[in-house]
Amino acid sequence: MTEYTRSQLALRNGQDRDEIWVAYQGKIFDVTQSRLWRNGKHYEHWAGQDLTDELVDAPHTEKVFERMTQIGILV
Ligand code: HEM
Protein backbone atom coordinates (compact mmCIF):
# COMPACT_ATOMS: atom_id res chain seq x y z
CA MET A 1 0.00 0.00 0.00
CA THR A 2 1.39 3.41 -0.97
CA GLU A 3 2.40 5.76 1.85
CA TYR A 4 1.42 9.43 1.79
CA THR A 5 2.31 12.33 4.07
CA ARG A 6 -0.10 14.82 5.56
CA SER A 7 0.92 17.43 2.99
CA GLN A 8 0.22 15.04 0.12
CA LEU A 9 -3.14 14.27 1.70
CA ALA A 10 -3.85 17.99 2.12
CA LEU A 11 -3.64 18.52 -1.65
CA ARG A 12 -6.57 16.10 -2.09
CA ASN A 13 -9.02 18.38 -0.33
CA GLY A 14 -11.43 18.72 -3.24
CA GLN A 15 -10.10 22.14 -4.20
CA ASP A 16 -6.51 21.75 -5.42
CA ARG A 17 -6.70 18.42 -7.26
CA ASP A 18 -9.39 16.29 -8.87
CA GLU A 19 -8.84 13.48 -6.37
CA ILE A 20 -10.58 13.73 -2.99
CA TRP A 21 -9.13 11.76 -0.09
CA VAL A 22 -9.94 11.31 3.59
CA ALA A 23 -7.83 9.62 6.27
CA TYR A 24 -9.30 7.53 9.06
CA GLN A 25 -7.26 5.54 11.60
CA GLY A 26 -4.11 5.67 9.47
CA LYS A 27 -5.83 4.58 6.28
CA ILE A 28 -6.45 6.91 3.35
CA PHE A 29 -9.70 6.47 1.45
CA ASP A 30 -10.65 7.78 -1.98
CA VAL A 31 -14.02 9.56 -1.77
CA THR A 32 -13.78 11.22 -5.19
CA GLN A 33 -16.75 9.30 -6.57
CA SER A 34 -19.00 10.00 -3.60
CA ARG A 35 -21.67 12.62 -4.22
CA LEU A 36 -21.63 13.17 -0.44
CA TRP A 37 -18.06 14.52 -0.63
CA ARG A 38 -18.47 16.84 -3.61
CA ASN A 39 -15.80 19.59 -3.67
CA GLY A 40 -14.27 17.98 -0.59
CA LYS A 41 -17.03 19.00 1.76
CA HIS A 42 -19.10 16.53 3.80
CA TYR A 43 -21.56 18.39 6.02
CA GLU A 44 -19.25 20.40 8.31
CA HIS A 45 -16.18 18.32 7.47
CA TRP A 46 -13.43 18.84 4.92
CA ALA A 47 -11.46 16.21 3.03
CA GLY A 48 -7.68 16.29 2.69
CA GLN A 49 -7.07 15.53 6.35
CA ASP A 50 -7.22 12.93 9.09
CA LEU A 51 -10.84 12.90 10.29
CA THR A 52 -10.45 10.11 12.85
CA ASP A 53 -11.34 12.35 15.80
CA GLU A 54 -14.32 13.84 13.97
CA LEU A 55 -16.22 10.61 13.40
CA VAL A 56 -17.84 11.04 16.83
CA ASP A 57 -19.79 13.96 15.32
CA ALA A 58 -21.27 11.73 12.61
CA PRO A 59 -24.69 10.07 12.75
CA HIS A 60 -23.03 6.94 11.31
CA THR A 61 -20.23 4.58 12.32
CA GLU A 62 -16.94 3.76 10.58
CA LYS A 63 -18.90 1.18 8.56
CA VAL A 64 -19.31 3.86 5.87
CA PHE A 65 -15.66 3.28 4.94
CA GLU A 66 -16.43 -0.29 3.85
CA ARG A 67 -17.94 1.19 0.70
CA MET A 68 -14.85 3.34 -0.01
CA THR A 69 -11.59 2.24 -1.64
CA GLN A 70 -8.44 2.48 0.48
CA ILE A 71 -5.73 4.01 -1.66
CA GLY A 72 -2.93 4.38 0.86
CA ILE A 73 -1.53 4.74 4.34
CA LEU A 74 -0.97 8.01 6.18
CA VAL A 75 2.59 8.33 7.49
C1 HEM B 1 -21.88 16.27 10.94
C2 HEM B 1 -21.22 15.13 10.72
C3 HEM B 1 -21.64 14.14 9.66
C4 HEM B 1 -22.85 13.92 9.09
C5 HEM B 1 -24.17 14.65 9.35
C6 HEM B 1 -22.68 12.82 8.14
C7 HEM B 1 -23.69 12.29 7.38
C8 HEM B 1 -23.56 11.24 6.48
C9 HEM B 1 -24.65 10.62 5.76
C10 HEM B 1 -26.12 11.00 5.87
C11 HEM B 1 -24.11 9.66 4.98
C12 HEM B 1 -24.85 8.70 4.05
C13 HEM B 1 -25.66 7.71 4.83
C14 HEM B 1 -24.83 6.68 5.53
O15 HEM B 1 -23.98 6.05 4.87
O16 HEM B 1 -25.00 6.50 6.76
C17 HEM B 1 -22.67 9.67 5.20
C18 HEM B 1 -21.75 8.88 4.56
C19 HEM B 1 -20.39 8.92 4.75
N20 HEM B 1 -19.72 9.65 5.71
FE21 HEM B 1 -20.55 11.00 6.94
N22 HEM B 1 -21.37 12.41 8.16
C23 HEM B 1 -20.71 13.19 9.07
C24 HEM B 1 -19.38 13.09 9.40
C25 HEM B 1 -18.46 12.27 8.79
C26 HEM B 1 -17.05 12.20 9.11
C27 HEM B 1 -16.36 13.02 10.19
C28 HEM B 1 -16.50 11.29 8.27
C29 HEM B 1 -15.07 10.82 8.21
C30 HEM B 1 -14.40 10.45 9.31
C31 HEM B 1 -17.55 10.79 7.41
C32 HEM B 1 -17.40 9.88 6.41
C33 HEM B 1 -18.39 9.39 5.60
C34 HEM B 1 -18.17 8.47 4.49
C35 HEM B 1 -16.82 7.93 4.00
C36 HEM B 1 -19.42 8.19 3.96
C37 HEM B 1 -19.73 7.27 2.77
C38 HEM B 1 -19.98 8.13 1.56
C39 HEM B 1 -20.67 7.36 0.43
O40 HEM B 1 -21.14 6.24 0.63
O41 HEM B 1 -20.73 7.91 -0.69
N42 HEM B 1 -18.73 11.40 7.77
N43 HEM B 1 -22.38 10.64 6.13
For the chain, the structural domain boundaries read 3-74
Mean pLDDT of the chain: 97
Chain mean position to CA 9: 8
Best mutation site among 39, 42, 68 for ligand 1 pocket (most ligand atoms within 8 Å of CB):
42
List residues near ligand 1 (CB under 6 A): 22, 24, 31, 34, 36, 42-45, 51, 54-55, 57-60, 64-65, 67-68
Q: How far apart are CA 73 and CA 59, in angstroms?
A: 25
CATH ID of 3-74, from 3.90.1150.10, 3.30.1330.10, 3.40.50.150, 3.10.120.10: 3.10.120.10
**Does the global pTM surpass 0.75?**
yes
Asked if 29 and 68 touch (Cβ cutoff 8 Å), the reply is yes
The alpha carbon of 69 and the centre of ligand 1 are apart by a number of angstroms equal to 15
Give Dmax (Cα) for the chain. Answer: 30
Radius of gyration of the chain from its Cα atoms, rounded to whole angstroms? 11
SS3 category, 67: helix
Banded pLDDT at 24 (limits 50, 70, 90): very high
Question: Do residues 13 and 40 lie in contact, with contact meaning Cβ atoms separated by under 8 Å?
Answer: yes
